[in-house]
Structure 1
């Protein structure tokens, strides 16, 4: 599914799934985008486009979350928050905040790497949303960041630092450069992106909260202020609630564009593209005179074929595509390579097998933002009683459908769910025999992320259980997940094979 409506126009959102807190940069004729990945691994997705409308996923910049011991189990709302992507000194740079660790930085000579290991630039709690700036005229380097009240007790303010030009250290203790409490009506100022333009230092930063807020711009003749502010993008009478947090980019022909997100519940934070110009008063004008656009002429860039990040997967050689992420740092042996097609997942032993939210060995991808049907074939090879494998919709509440080996040795089709407040799953429908030990599973995702589950054990598709409404975590949208599990015990528990994973838009 793409938003490339015609050769002349595009429709928002340009990325209709949870690509949270996007930032964008242009290098030559190429545009690159990264986004928050929170506790999933690999982290820091890297997307590429030639026209700002059609994007493909080309890799990830972060192989594992560090410190590794902090991410052996899922921490769904933690980890990588709001990265900034920049190109300087012939290198790509990504800065991000881990709200429990501090501000990290990695860099690479090419977008596909190799990327350096994470370098902790500033240690501390609640340090989020960092963005660097290299002043090409003076040779000075700067960093701005926001604060998470949940960790630091502080929010609604931006702190600025001088930074060593090589990005390895900060050169001062930091200074409060914008105090949102002093701006009438502004609260939860965060997500700053730092630029220079027309003799000014610019900070593009949202405020007002992710679901109800607006996008602001602030400017000063000097990096450390004082800054003046203006609201430059807000919902008005559109359906785009809280247009929020993103990046400004300029095309080779001099057009300006702004990429930002919209919070959409279980679908997470979908990505919009807004036209941008500079008003007579020197302030940026985003969208349609400050309101988000739904349909708009494309950027003045060479036409590109329609494209979108991959979703389908045949798992050639047992390898999974770039669209998949584990819910924590993976261990060797969770997925095994082989000569054929199909994903072979080991039935990982866990005392938390009754609660998918606690399991690091769930392989996930983003929930599509448009009505869709998700299908996959599953075969359970494990002979151990209690082993199971299936397809899940995973959030603060979860539901899954799949196969489980019974105490009698038979394989059963099971469908289970857990509410957000529940500590253990329960049946959503009566178990039934799956005599061949395999099944074709289907989840139809309708409006409002309402999910209907189906199975086919060789007799045609049958519905299972009631409608399940997908839910997000606090910051992360709902996920699709594949898993294979076994009860606590010793020895190898066997495996399950997943094949022909498809997402078709309804």
Structure 2
């Protein structure tokens, strides 16, 4: 135990200073550091199929929705797909902040991959496929409100069940399903509720092991909660409960909500999130041990019978060593399809962009967004990706072809508060502008902070993001000498999602614009 604690301390110091531009959890010496994903993969769930691991996470209003990540060792991950391109409801044609997919679960049964999720104001959805890297079939199983966080279980006799939560109710319900998972067969039964011991219980994951039915569920709130295990010999209960992971003496607040997986080697591992303000809910990996029918997630460092998160640990025993990989970030826009790291803020439309009009560039059209003078809170065609490191520099090359005065295109850090640097067309020519905005239900709080004439259609834009959560913009005409904007900004998370970095092109006028901008590349350097 002392050796583990020394390892954790030494490598947490090393890991805190290394790889500032790209967060690399694989330390290259058969150990890894947490978080394994310094990015907003909220409510992660995982499965193993043979030698392959698959992870899904919440997307809320971001589209395409529910990313699928693949790994061979639980440490090195890449994005391989999304469950859906858009949600088949009119409300998602505009940014529906905080709505959309909550807490998906992924399972593999009889050769088919299943993902279940709820949009709490719309219903229960199920997606399925035989190959997770190809197109998924999306089905609305039940049109119902206030359901959340579903997870299926196929029992030994083939009977299908679904466990789920209820928004703001601290309750877990169990339903029978049709064997194909396409239909709910009953009204459901309340199987667990204890406001004193396990308040705010949600996000249940279902497992059967050694004759016990286990439900793994977070409780106690997102920023300060813990991970609970429930178990019973009868699927309908009654269930015993035990806290199996908490912050303890570590700096990892609210360690809970995630997925449990068994390796071919017999090891067990748990992936969960930590709420990290503008970074969203970043992902940690914990070893799992079993004793007397109960698991402990992490390491019981202070011998209180409850696991605590590890900072550094020996990598999972998967029998091989695999190359270091990280989820995609930079993009040269040389492909014929959008890179899998990118998401829009609402259901995407083909009219927003082109990868063929100017091959090797992403063309974003000056879409009309007249609400509150182009206030970004109401703009669906924001082209964004997750912040994926505690500090980074992002750059892009922009060629701007404005049509109407007010057309603008640029580089943004987006959240409930945001700021951007952009080229903007005026009646006298182009100008470089810096705007700051924040969400508000009544007033337009978007402000133009700085502007100056720029006699060029082409420029380079850069944002430096510091580990204090501050960021600063600059621009250049030659990608060598950059002029810094004196003002710094503070990043802020959105509704249930972390802040994002990306590109945009908009027209804040009531008239339609024929303007556009070509982004030659986007690089995290």
Specify which of 119, 133, 138 is matched with residue 98 of structure 1.
119
Aligned to 1:385: 405
Aligned to 2:3: none
Q: Does the 8 Å CA contact 2:106/2:116 hold for their aligned counterparts? A: yes
Aligned to 1:143: 162
> How far has the Cα of 1:492 moved from its partner?
4.6
Aligned to 2:310: 293
Change (3 A) 1:325 1:159: same
Q: Secondary structure at the match of 1:180?
A: coil
Aligned to 2:382: 362
Q: TM-score, normalised by structure 2?
A: 0.91
> How far has the Cα of 1:384 moved from its partner?
2.2
Q: Secondary structure at the match of 2:468?
A: helix
Deviations, residues 259-280 of structure 1 (Å, cap 9, x unaligned): 000000000000000000101x
Aligned to 1:152: none
Range moving further from structure 2, 26-35 or 313-322: 313-322
Specify which of 232, 241, 244 is matched with residue 244 of structure 2.
232
Q: Does the 8 Å CA contact 1:204/1:218 hold for their aligned counterparts? A: yes
Q: Does the 8 Å CA contact 1:25/1:249 hold for their aligned counterparts? A: yes
Deviations, residues 411-466 of structure 1 (Å, cap 9, x unaligned): 1000000134462311232x112211222111111123211111113482111142
Q: Secondary structure at the match of 1:357?
A: helix
> How far has the Cα of 1:169 moved from its partner?
1.0
Aligned to 1:177: 191
2: distance between equivalents of 1:491 and 1:318? 27
> How far has the Cα of 1:166 moved from its partner?
0.6
Specify which of 304, 326, 330 is matched with residue 322 of structure 2.
304
Q: Does the 8 Å CA contact 2:374/2:508 hold for their aligned counterparts? A: no
In the alignment, is residue 86 of structure 1 matched against residue 107 of structure 2? yes
> How far has the Cα of 1:368 moved from its partner?
2.3
Aligned to 1:48: 70
2: distance between equivalents of 1:206 and 1:130? 14
2: distance between equivalents of 1:239 and 1:477? 19
| Matching of residues 317-356 of structure 1 within 5 Å | 319-338=337-356, 340-352=359-371, 353-356=373-376
| Matching of residues 179-198 of structure 1 within 5 Å | 179-181=193-195, 184-198=196-210
Q: Secondary structure at the match of 2:86?
A: coil
Gaps of 5+ in 2: 1-21, 301-306
Gaps of 5+ in 1: 150-154
RMSD: 1.4
> How far has the Cα of 1:357 moved from its partner?
1.3
Aligned to 2:434: 415
Q: Does the 8 Å CA contact 1:319/1:343 hold for their aligned counterparts? A: no
Specify which of 500, 505, 508 is matched with residue 479 of structure 1.
500
Q: Does the 8 Å CA contact 1:346/1:496 hold for their aligned counterparts? A: yes
2: distance between equivalents of 1:191 and 1:468? 34
| Residue correspondences, number | 491
Q: Secondary structure at the match of 1:245?
A: strand
Specify which of 27, 42, 58 is matched with residue 36 of structure 1.
58
2: distance between equivalents of 1:76 and 1:84? 21
2: distance between equivalents of 1:499 and 1:240? 39
> How far has the Cα of 1:40 moved from its partner?
1.1
In the alignment, is residue 449 of structure 1 matched against residue 449 of structure 2? no
Q: Secondary structure at the match of 1:333?
A: helix
Q: Does the 8 Å CA contact 2:126/2:141 hold for their aligned counterparts? A: yes
Change (3 A) 1:373 1:70: same
2: distance between equivalents of 1:326 and 1:335? 11
2: distance between equivalents of 1:127 and 1:21? 16
Q: Does the 8 Å CA contact 2:404/2:513 hold for their aligned counterparts? A: no
